[in-house]
Amino acid sequence: MNTCSLRKSLFSRLFPRCNAGLRGFTGLYQTVKFRFGSFFPLVLGAGFLLAVFAYGMFIFLVVEGWSLLDSFYQVVITLSTVGFMELHPLTDRARLMVSFLILMGVGSFAYNVGAFTQVVVEGRLQDLWGKRKVQKMIDSLENHYIICGYGRIGAVIAEEFRRENLPVVILEKDPELLFELERDNHLFLAGDATTDEILIAAGVKRAKGLFACVSQDAENVYITLSSRQFNSGLTIIARADRPESVAKLERAGANRVLTPHQIGGKRIAQVMLRPTVTDFMDLATQGHNLQMEEIQVRPGSELVGKNLITSGIRPRFNLMIIAIEKSGGKMIFNPHPETGIEVADTLIAVGPPENFPGLQAACRPGDGFSV
């Protein structure tokens, strides 16, 4: 053990309370510094100025025995250096203490002016106003989606949701990727998605879905676990780079866990083995001339209690129902025309994109059309 470590160990044994207090103060300092970020120097300067003011009140109120109003007024005119005379004669001890008060007051004012000038020159005030504007926009969102990580996977997800005109909040900490997010006018927050504060700021309690797609599986597990605790009804899609991480993410609360490497490999293989089917799926999912969509039947819909024939979906909306997912999770492919439609069924339809609004309206309560 070296000399420095020996001294630290000896100090911890002789003064355990002081050591614990020092650790607590250091932790509080780091917490406040992280909380205020670039504006921490201003907060530190304001705190020091408040301490100097309290020291001045102690001099005049306790040491000299002045009244509260006289003490407050004397501290103000002393720190402001306006040159007024003392309200009452001072003792030699008080004059010495006031001398230190003046030096500390001038120093604290100079520090605050320098810190404020630095904030203005570096444009941090503008950044603060911009962050507040973004936070207000996020606070107004309901049933939105959160993307944790704007890497190769997150960028594709964000572009797909932008194409569908769905509200998305992106969480990223890489400065280079933050520049891209700002350039592309995405709604985003700068910060570590594994922290509870950034998840709450992104509105995880009000969100409809979350994508945990950062590069590290351990971070995705933590994001999934924290998000599930904040919102039990949240749909979480997680990314896993290693197969052994799939079970961990599912136990943490992810609804679906996907491995990009396996998906990409299977996709490449299907392009070679079944090129026509792959082209059809691309056409259906991209939604240009043909679209594949899933629509849930809500309570009160005119379709409830009918089968596919009596519902008239095919002649009314020119859409083909290729599958129905029942509320229990059972999937019926190529359903029979006599298959009944029930509440909470999910209809998987294929057809022209412009025909889907009619079916979506029919699946909502009180918005359907008569046959």
pLDDT value, residue 268:
87
Domain region containing 245: 141-263
Do 295 and 347 lie in one domain? The reply is: yes
Do 114 and 206 lie in one domain? The reply is: no
Partners of residue 209 on adjacent β-strands: 145, 235
Rounded CA-CA distance 72/98 in Å is 14
Within a domain: residue 277?
no
> CATH no. for residue 357?
3.30.70.1450
Strands of 209-212's sheet, edge to edge?
A: 188-190, 168-172, 145-148, 209-212, 235-239, 256-258
Mean pLDDT per 10-residue segment, the chain (371 residues): 47 50 55 60 82 90 88 87 80 87 86 75 56 84 94 91 92 87 88 91 94 93 94 94 91 92 86 84 72 91 92 92 89 92 93 90 71 38
Q: Into how many domains does the chain fold? A: 3
Within a domain: residue 371?
no
Within a domain: residue 134?
no
Among candidate residues 93, 121, 149, the one where a domain is terminated: 121
Do 241 and 329 lie in one domain? The reply is: no
Do 148 and 259 lie in one domain? The reply is: yes
Rounded CA-CA distance 320/349 in Å is 5
Do 245 and 297 lie in one domain? The reply is: no
Among candidate residues 228, 245, 263, the one where a domain is terminated: 263
Among candidate residues 121, 156, 174, the one where a domain is terminated: 121
Within a domain: residue 208?
yes
pLDDT value, residue 235:
95
Within a domain: residue 127?
no
